[in-house]
């Protein structure tokens, strides 16, 4: 990705603080017994697979939370592509810092790099099409800020961050509210933030109802490509259109070619494989 997205440092710092407490509590029993505070070492991370690197600034923050003056020298840029045996970063500091922070830094970089790699693969599948790949709220609890950051590093687009910054009327909302029209009408009257209203639909009748109700975005949920294409024709530019549900790397281009504006993919975060990265000492 050409432009690295911004990191919400207050939230990320809170995650790091909690994660370090989870791992260390009252001390690293092994490392603190083996090494004195002033003993130093040099270490480096290597890629063990092909992929996109994400999380370098966050991994650096892990180590610098433990030792402010640690030396951190990345060999690749955030969002850079690597192959097995490529050098990712070199670092030097106290042995205690490097060993105590190793697992948390690797856990973060491996997961975020896996997400960025997956996002880049989806973007490659829709190359040349004017469609955005969106992430979802299917993230690990407490880690959403980092996972959505990694999606953006990989070139895809963040959808709503949570329940607070977007209105999405899903099937259960519709059932409990008494229908699409009622749900949209209620939300039109109770939308102080002026948020766009998105409605999930599963067939053409629901698409027509959502359109008549004045939905800003209409989600086509679990529709085959032919059905999506017909839905796009029905909507005819009167609302934005999102394809969603069960879309994978093999089917994403067919969905994108139906004329939708967005394709949302939960697998970007809920089914990602961590990128294999190792940390070694010189």
> What positions carry a catalytic annotation?
103, 138, 170, 200, 221
Q: HSE (CB half, 13 Å, CA atoms) of 202?
A: 8
Lookup result for tokens 């530019």: 237
In Å, what is the CA distance from 5 to each residue of 47, 150, 158, 183, 237?
22, 9, 11, 35, 30
Tokens of 282: 């010189």
How far apart are alpha carbons 243 and 227 in whole angstroms? Answer: 11
Pure H helices in 67-142? 95-125
Task: Report strand pairing: 217-221 vs 87-94.
Answer: unpaired
How far apart are alpha carbons 24 and 29 in whole angstroms? Answer: 8
The β-bridge partners of 89 are 45, 74
């Amino acid at each position: 990705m050409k432009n690295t997205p911004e990191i919400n440092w207050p939230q990320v710092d809170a995650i790091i603080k909690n994660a370090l407490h989870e791992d260390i509590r009252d001390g690293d029993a092994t490392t603190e017994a083996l090494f004195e505070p002033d003993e130093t070492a040099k270490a480096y991370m290597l890629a063990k697979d092909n992929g996109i690197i994400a999380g370098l600034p966050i991994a650096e923050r892990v180590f610098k939370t433990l030792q402010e003056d640690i030396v951190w020298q990345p060999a690749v840029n955030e969002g850079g592509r690597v192959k097995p045996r490529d050098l990712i970063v070199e670092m030097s500091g106290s042995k205690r810092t490097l060993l105590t922070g190793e697992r948390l830094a690797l856990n973060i970089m491996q997961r975020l790099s896996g997400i960025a790699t997956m996002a880049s693969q989806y973007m490659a599948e829709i190359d040349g099409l004017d469609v955005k790949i969106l992430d979802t709220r299917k993230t690990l609890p407490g880690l959403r800020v980092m996972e959505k950051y990694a999606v953006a590093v990989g070139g895809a687009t963040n959808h709503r961050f949570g329940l607070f910054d977007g209105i999405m009327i899903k099937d259960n909302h519709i059932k409990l509210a008494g229908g699409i029209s009622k749900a949209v009408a209620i939300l039109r009257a109770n939308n102080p933030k002026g948020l766009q209203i998105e409605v999930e639909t599963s067939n053409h009748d629901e698409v027509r109802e959502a359109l008549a109700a004045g939905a800003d975005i209409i989600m086509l949920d679990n529709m085959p490509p032919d059905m999506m294409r017909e839905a796009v024709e029905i909507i005819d530019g009167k609302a934005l259109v999102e394809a969603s549900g069960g879309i994978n790397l093999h089917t994403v281009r067919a969905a994108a070619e139906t004329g939708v504006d967005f394709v949302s993919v939960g697998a970007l975060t809920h089914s990602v494989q961590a990128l294999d990265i190792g940390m070694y000492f010189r």
